[in-house]
């Protein structure tokens, strides 16, 4: 996720990190060059049909509305994913406090807390489709061979609690409270997996990009007469707006990816490590900082 303040006037012309321009510049260049060719043909050979602007205006309004609808759908996915990860962080903090109350055995308490962090990292790696991460804790490394590493980590944590309950280390009320907390964590996990495994329908992307290119290719037929040599510039600006918004919605619809608009899952995992460090009797690690404005 890009973390930076409101862009300055200089940033408007120079900032590339966090911009969609690196993703769409080839398409923009192709459209501008094609427009230049069409304007040249119209200037030299007078072979281009000149369309009325009304039809293309209505087309543009419809395209804008559809882009707005898709942007709302994509942002809803992004925001729901952020709320779910915020819930996971809150639940892990509450779990640490409850373990402090209900689990008197220090070694078991620390093992359960470390296992909960192992689950969080395994969940992060699963959502990002990562098969290896040297920075992940040992509890995560131990379950990476499993088809569902996050579930395997949660099962190990549940097994610790079940064994402690049977051994009498944790009483019935404590076991019930901690089990309820694990159930809440599992609900947050399932919500994230639902978003990751149910992308926006492909037909949305196909229709958006097809109609955007079609609209940009029709614009020269409308603007070549009244705008003349300014037509390539106008087409480039319009294409930047529509293709840029389409690319932004594409990134927002995949909130767990490591793109510029993806959620900072590693930073949230580090926040959990910082929160649980006092319960483990450890020095909290430093928060993750953005690198070139990017927070992973």
Residue 2 backbone phi and psi in degrees, to 5: -80, 130
Which range has the worst mean pLDDT, 57-66, 118-127, 174-183? 57-66
CA dist 269 and 42 (Å) reads 59
Structure-token pair, residue 239: 């294409």
Q: What is the DSSP string of the chain?
A: -B---S--HHHHHH--TT-SHHHHHHHHHHHHHHHHHHHHHHHHT--S----HHHHHHHHHHHHHHHHHHHHHHHHHHHHHHHHHHHHHHHHHHHHHHHHHH---HHHHHHHHHHHHHHHHHHHHHHTT-S--TTS-HHHHTTTTSSSHHHHHHHHHHHHHHHHHHTTSS-HHHHHHHHHHHHHHHHHHHHHHHHHHSPPPHHHHHHHHHHHHHHHHHHHHHHHHHHGGGHHHHHHHHHHHHHHHHHHHHHHT-TTSSSTTS--HHHHHHHHHHHHHHHHT-PPPPPP--BTTB--
Single out the residue of 142, 110, 107, 123 nearest to residue 185, CA to CA.
123
Least confident among 79-88, 98-107, 236-245, 285-294: 285-294
Burial of 96 (0-12, 13-18, 19+ CB in 10 A): buried
Structural tokens at position 23: 């993703």
Average pLDDT over residues 58-76: 85
The C-alpha atoms of residue 193 and residue 201 are separated, in whole angstroms, by 16
- The per-residue pLDDT for 149 is 95
Residue 207, pLDDT above cutoff 90:
no
Q: How far is CA 85 from the centre of its chain?
A: 11
Contact between 66 and 211 under an 8 Å Cβ cutoff? The reply is: yes
What does pTM read for this prediction? 0.90
Q: What per-residue confidence (pLDDT) applies to 168?
A: 92
Give the pLDDT band of residue 227 (cuts 50, 70, 90): confident
What pLDDT does residue 218 have?
A: 86
Q: What is the pLDDT of residues 179-204, one digit of tens each?
A: 999 999 999 999 999 999 998 888 88
Q: What per-residue confidence (pLDDT) applies to 179?
A: 96
């Amino acid at each position: 996720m890009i973390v930076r303040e409101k862009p300055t006037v200089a940033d408007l012309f120079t900032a590339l990190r966090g911009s969609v321009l690196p993703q769409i510049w080839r398409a923009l260049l192709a459209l501008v060059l094609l427009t230049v060719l069409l304007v040249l043909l119209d200037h030299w050979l007078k072979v281009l049909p000149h369309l009325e602007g009304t039809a293309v205006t209505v087309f543009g309004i419809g395209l804008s509305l559809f882009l707005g609808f898709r942007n709302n759908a994509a942002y809803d996915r992004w925001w729901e994913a952020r709320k779910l990860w915020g819930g996971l962080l809150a639940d892990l903090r509450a779990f640490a406090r409850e373990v402090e109350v209900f689990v008197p055995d220090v070694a078991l308490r620390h093992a359960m807390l470390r296992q909960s962090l192992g689950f969080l990292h395994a969940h992060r790696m699963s959502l990002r489709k990562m098969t290896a991460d040297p920075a992940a804790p040992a509890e995560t490394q131990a379950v990476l061979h499993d088809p569902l590493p996050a579930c395997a980590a949660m099962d190990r944590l549940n097994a610790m609690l079940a064994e402690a309950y049977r051994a009498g280390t944790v009483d019935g009320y404590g076991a019930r409270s901690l089990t309820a907390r694990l159930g809440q964590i599992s609900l947050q996990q399932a919500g994230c997996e639902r978003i990751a495994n149910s992308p926006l329908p492909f037909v949305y992307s196909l229709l958006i990009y097809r109609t955007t290119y079609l609209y940009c290719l029709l614009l020269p037929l409308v603007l070549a007469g009244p705008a003349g040599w300014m037509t390539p510039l106008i087409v480039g600006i319009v294409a930047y707006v529509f293709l840029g918004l389409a690319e932004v919605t594409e990134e927002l619809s995949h909130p767990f990816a490591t793109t510029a608009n993806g959620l900072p899952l590693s930073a949230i995992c580090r926040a959990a490590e910082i929160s649980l460090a006092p319960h483990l009797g450890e020095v909290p690690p430093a928060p993750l900082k953005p690198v070139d404005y990017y927070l992973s």
